[in-house]
Amino acid sequence: METTIPTAAVPLLELRKICKSFPGVRALTDVDLQLYSGEVHMLLGENGAGKSSLMKVLFGAYRADSGEFFSDGRPITIESPADAKRLGIAVIFQEFSLVPHLSIAQNIYLGREPRNRFGLVDHRKMHLDARAALEELGLAYDTHAYAADLGVAQQQMVEIAKALSHRARVLVMDEPTAAISDREAEALFHVVRKLRGSGVAIVYISHRMKEVFDLGDRVTVLRDGRLVQSMLATAATPDELIAMMVGRSVGTVYKRQYFGEPGKVALDVRQLTTATGVRGVDLQVRCGEIVGLSGLVGAGRTEVVRAVFGADPIQTGHVTVFGEAVTGGPHKVAAMGVGLIPENRKQEGLALKRSVHENLLTASLWKLFPRGWYQAEKARSATKALIDSLRIAPGDPSKSARVLSGGNQQKIVIGKWLSAGCRLFIFDEPTRGIDIGAKTEIFNLIENLIKDGAAVLLISSELAEIVHVCDRAYVMREGVVSGELPRESLSEQNILRLAMHGS
Amino acid sequence: MEASVERVSVVRTRRPVPSIVATSAVLAVAAMLGVPGFASSGNVTNIGLQVSILLIIAMPMTLVILSEGLDLSVGALLSLCAVVFAQTLGLGWGMALALGASVAVGMLTGLFNGALIAKLGLPPFVVTLGTLGIAHGIALVLTDGNAVVVGNPSVAQLYAWTILGIPFPVIFALLAYALTHLLLYHTRFGTYVFAIGGNRDALLLAGIKAKAFHIAIYVFGGLMVGLAALVLVGRMNSAEPASAIGMEFDAIAAVVLGGTSFERGEGWLFGTVMGVVTIGVLRNALNLLGIESSLQVVSVGILVLLVVVIDSVRKSRVNGAKA
């Protein structure tokens, strides 16, 4: 099964010195990548290391600012998805491009339907071809089945068949095992090995160490948009790879000022299991401490929070907030003093078209006006107090929330829960998409919250944030807590090891 | 190695038979047993004549809804096309030429609807509500609000023509069904109708000009409406500016009864045929029982809600079982 890569051979596809930047961010700097025929090339890196950007450049979805491309040693350009397709590059995204109520065969040949001499779709030929394409992969699917009736793993297989029917020579798979069972993953690996045997170059993005060594021929590690190293998988160890991935320079790292003594338990989660994939999670947050919840994207962090907040039903286990068992939906949980600052603040946390004033008071109207009569003067002064204490800029309460910067929008969401009298704050990726200065301000705010005796649970994919901001952290992997790190052993390396390896 | 090859074949259809099948059967049997005169051959022909126009316009409505769209303008447009047909006949145009004028009006309106919806991304509800008003207004202006009587006898003759005892309007409607079936299930256009409703990005990734096909759905709708004017005018031997207003309700109801969803491009053309027949049977039976037409509208509305509720409950059970 071992394939040896003839180092003298000309790569099927080569990228040299690829740079790509966006306003304010350098996504890729001088990245080199060689892809050889018949290899499985694992691409590793923390969230935000540049894997997605690199793949988008490869697929023509982004145009590189500078850099060169070579196909079989000849210089080429990739400026659009059509260019990439012509060169035989196919990407299987995590969100599939299948049409639910068309058959497998119709999906594979979408846009290239074979036609008979009357100009009608030749269903017979299409199904025969589709069956042949699937049999190439060792799959005996009924090609008449609708995509809507397939499981995730089966849809993935159909996507692969579709890509290969385009005669793809380079196949990019973005975390293909993220949402499928172990048994399905085995079937997928079988197909991947088969493709490798037939000379396809496979780029495989993964966060699972086991896959890297089970499946990979070579490994490339990215960090901060730069190439760290490309090497044979046999020449690397898990610890070395993790060491290469961590240590990002995140610019100004936050410096924690205040450490308090943990007070009474604010949040107590025991053996939480949900239908959304959380399995037997235990965690506690006390007043006066910031507890991190880390793990890779899809590890189940958001699912834990949704269950705690009453947004998803709890299957087994229980959640206690300030000594009281959580039973009802989000409305009830919020009334118990829990404020959720969601990851997707624009969709879930804010009414963008409404004013700062209205947004700040949405969660506390009943508290301010228990009889249901709105008093404009009282509302105005409550808003003003919040704007001043949170230093929201611009301080004009009548401005619509849309025009504020990401950091200030985040402050409004915090202010909304503050005014409602919350004592436990759950932050889900609070710094995503906001600049360094605003990040510092958000962390100052979080610190002020615990100074006042509140409790904070912080979810972040930025390892450095967890390390620098939290008192301690839980790390999740595949729906379970794979470890708890006290402040002394809170390091990026330890988090990543628990997140990828599980021990 | 072969051991790990996935041989699990996917079962083709795990979904339940749409409720319309049972609903239409129950309704037909009930009408046969409980409504005197319902099962006579004369009455069956009558039902066929009554539903023929609805069937013709419900065909493109199925495609429109499959593409996550809606067309509220068909009733008003059909009235306008009938007026155009009758007036051009009155000018001495031949039947074919007059029908051509009706079809042209229908297709141009469809093009207008489709362009605003597909190119500008405006909501179908709003766009077709606008064209409803425009078409109705133009029909009133053209006729001064009066009926246009047709002098040319060939239209009425065509309407009364039968082949093997089957009236021409029924044959015409069946041909419309056959044509739509061919388009939807045997051409690329039909495949893309499902994709426009189900996953537009998939079409774009496949390099297909989705917008052109999206517009074509509404143009096809205009074509069918233009043709349906022939049957409408033939039936009354005249055209009134508001004769088909409200028919969009029955057309949308028939599509929904037939199990086509407003989301994700899920649907079934023959289901629409059954929906049309079900509405026809219901109205006919209520007619025979002497129930006035406003109450018939109420009963169609109740039927639609009933079937939709049953389907959604059954679907959530199936999904529950899967998870």
Model confidence at B169, in pLDDT bands (50, 70, 90)?
very high
Identify whether A394 is preceded by a cis peptide bond (ω within 30 of 0). Answer: yes
pLDDT higher than threshold 60 for residue B90: yes
CA dihedral A171, A95, A145, B312 (to 10 degrees): 180
- Cβ distance B186 to A99 less than 8 Å, yes or no, reads no
Residue A161, burial from CB neighbour count under 10 angstroms (0-12, 13-18, 19+)? buried
- This prediction has a pTM of 0.76
Between A and B, how many CB-CB pairs are < 8 A?
Answer: 99
Number of domains composing chain B: 1
Checking if the pLDDT of B322 tops 60, the result is: no
Instruction: Provide mean pLDDT across the span A15-24.
Output: 86
Q: Looking at CA atoms only, how far is residue B278 from chain A in angstroms?
A: 25
Residues B196 and B214 sit within 8 Å (Cβ to Cβ): yes
CA A473 to chain centre: 19
Report the pLDDT value the prediction gives residue A421, as an integer from 0 to 100. Answer: 81
Phi-psi region at B130: left, alpha or beta (left = phi > 0; alpha = psi -120 to 50): alpha
Which has the minimum average pLDDT: A437-446, B73-82, B224-233? A437-446
Q: Tell me the pLDDT of chain B averaged across its residues.
A: 89
**Contact at CB, A186 and B4, closer than 8 angstroms:** yes
Residue length of chain B:
323
Residues of A in contact with B194 (CB under 8 A): 99, 101-102, 106
Q: Do B207 and A82 touch (CB under 8 A)?
A: yes
- CA dist., res. B94 & res. A172, Å (int): 62
Is the Cβ pair B194, A187 closer than 8 Å? Answer: no
* Per-window interface: A 327-356 vs B, CB < 8 A: none
* Phi, psi angles (nearest 5°) of residue A278: -85, 130
Does residue B46 lie in a domain region? no
SS3 state at B238: strand
Which residues of B are less than 8 Å from A142 in CB distance?
A: 9-12
pLDDT of residue B3: 38
- Report which listed range, A299-308, A474-483, B223-232, is most confident: B223-232
| B245-268: pLDDT as tens digits | 989 999 999 999 998 988 888 899
Spatial separation of the C-alpha atoms in residues A150 and A157, rounded to whole Å: 10
pLDDT tens digits for B171-198? 999 999 999 999 999 999 999 999 999 9
Q: Has residue B298 been placed in a domain?
A: no
Give the pLDDT confidence of B30-64 residue by residue, as tens digits.
Answer: 988 888 888 888 899 999 999 999 999 999 999 99
Query: In chain B, which residue's Cα lies nearest the Cα of A149?
Result: B14
Question: At residue B320, does pLDDT exceed 70?
Answer: no
Contact list, A148 vs chain B (CB under 8 Å): 264, 266
Question: Does residue A479 carry a pLDDT above 70?
Answer: yes
The stretch A76-99 carries a mean pLDDT of 84
Cβ proximity of A42 and A212 under 8 Å: yes
- Which residues in A lie closer than 8 A to residue B199 (C-beta atoms)? 97-100
Token code pair at residue B22: 């049972």
* Structural Rg of chain B based on CA atoms: 21
Identify whether B22 is part of a domain. no
Task: Provide DSSP, B164-228.
Answer: TTEEHHHHHHHHHHHHHHHHHHHSHHHHHHHHHHH-HHHHHHTT--HHHHHHHHHHHHHHHHHHH
Stretch B156-164: mean pLDDT: 90
Distance in Å, alpha carbon of B161 to nearest chain A alpha carbon: 32
* Structural domain for B134, as ranges: 53-245
Is A150 an 8 Å CB contact of chain B?
A: yes
Q: Residues near A117 by Cβ (< 8 Å), separated by ≥ 6?
A: none
Of B9, B186, B202, the CB nearest to A110: B202
- How high is the pLDDT of residue B16? 62
Arithmetic mean of pLDDT, A264-289: 91
What CA–CA distance (Å, rounded) separates A296 from B171? Answer: 63
Residue B269 in any domain: the answer is no
Mean pLDDT of B286-308: 88
Q: Which residues of B touch A115 (CB under 8 A)?
A: 188
Side-chain-facing half-sphere of B178: CA atoms under 13 Å: 6
ipTM of this model?
0.86
Task: Find out whether A268 and A320 touch, Cβ atoms under 8 Å.
Answer: yes
pLDDT 10s digits, A44-72: 887 678 888 888 888 888 888 999 999 98
What tens digit of pLDDT does each residue of A305-362 get?
Answer: 888 988 888 889 989 999 888 888 888 888 888 888 877 666 667 888 888 888 888 8
Which of A101, A112, A140 has its CB closest to that of B7?
A140
Give A162-175 pLDDT, tens digit per residue.
888 888 899 998 88
* Structure confidence at residue A385 (pLDDT): 87
Interface contact flag, B195 A119, Cβ < 8 Å: no
State whether residue A145 sits within 8 Å of chain B by CB: yes
Residue B29 in domain:
no
Q: What pLDDT does B4 receive?
A: 41
Q: According to the per-residue pLDDT averaged within each range, which of A4-13, A384-393, B80-89, B293-302 is highest?
A: B80-89
CA dihedral A88, A89, A92, A95 (to 10 degrees): -110
Q: Structure tokens of A84?
A: 């990439």
Contact (CB<8Å) A113/B188: yes
Give the mean model confidence (pLDDT) for residues B13-25: 74
Q: In the structure, what pLDDT confidence band is assigned to residue B11 with cuts at 50, 70 and 90?
A: very low
Average pLDDT, chain A: 85
Per-residue model confidence (pLDDT) at position A183? 77
Residue B82 lies in a domain: yes
Contacts of B93 (CB under 8 A, 6+ apart): B101
Chain B residue whose CA is closest to A110? B206
Q: Given an 8 Å threshold on Cβ–Cβ distance, is B191 in contact with A110?
A: yes
Whether residue B32 lies inside any domain: the answer is no
pLDDT grade for B2, boundaries at 50, 70 and 90: very low
Give the minimum alpha-carbon distance from B10 to chain A in angstroms, rounded to a whole number: 6
Which residue from A minimizes the CA distance to B7?
A: A140
DSSP-based three-state secondary structure for A339:
strand
Chain B nearest CA to A211, separation (Å): 17
Which among A99, A107, A112 is the nearest to B265, CB-wise? A99
Q: Is residue B143 part of a domain?
A: yes
Q: What is the pLDDT of residue B55?
A: 97
Cβ separation A148–B13 shorter than 8 A: no
DSSP A346: I
Alpha-carbon span A35 to A219, nearest angstrom: 11
* Rg of chain A on CA atoms, in Å: 26
The DSSP secondary structure of A217-284, one letter per residue, reads SEEEEEETTEEEEEEEGGG--HHHHHHHH-----SSPP---------SEEEEEEEEEETTS--SEEEE
Alpha helices in A337-481 (DSSP H): 356-361, 365-368, 376-390, 406-419, 436-451, 463-469
Q: Is the per-residue pLDDT at A435 higher than 70?
A: no
- What pLDDT, in 10s, does the model give residues A353-412? 888 888 888 877 877 788 888 888 888 888 888 888 888 877 788 888 887 877 788 888
Task: Say if the Cβ atoms of B186 and A102 lie within 8 Å.
Answer: no
pLDDT at position A8:
53
pLDDT of residue A172: 92
DSSP secondary structure string, A114-132? -B-TTSSB-HHHHHHHHHH
Asked if A12 and A170 touch (Cβ cutoff 8 Å), the reply is: yes
- Reported as a pLDDT band with limits 50, 70 and 90, residue A3 is very low
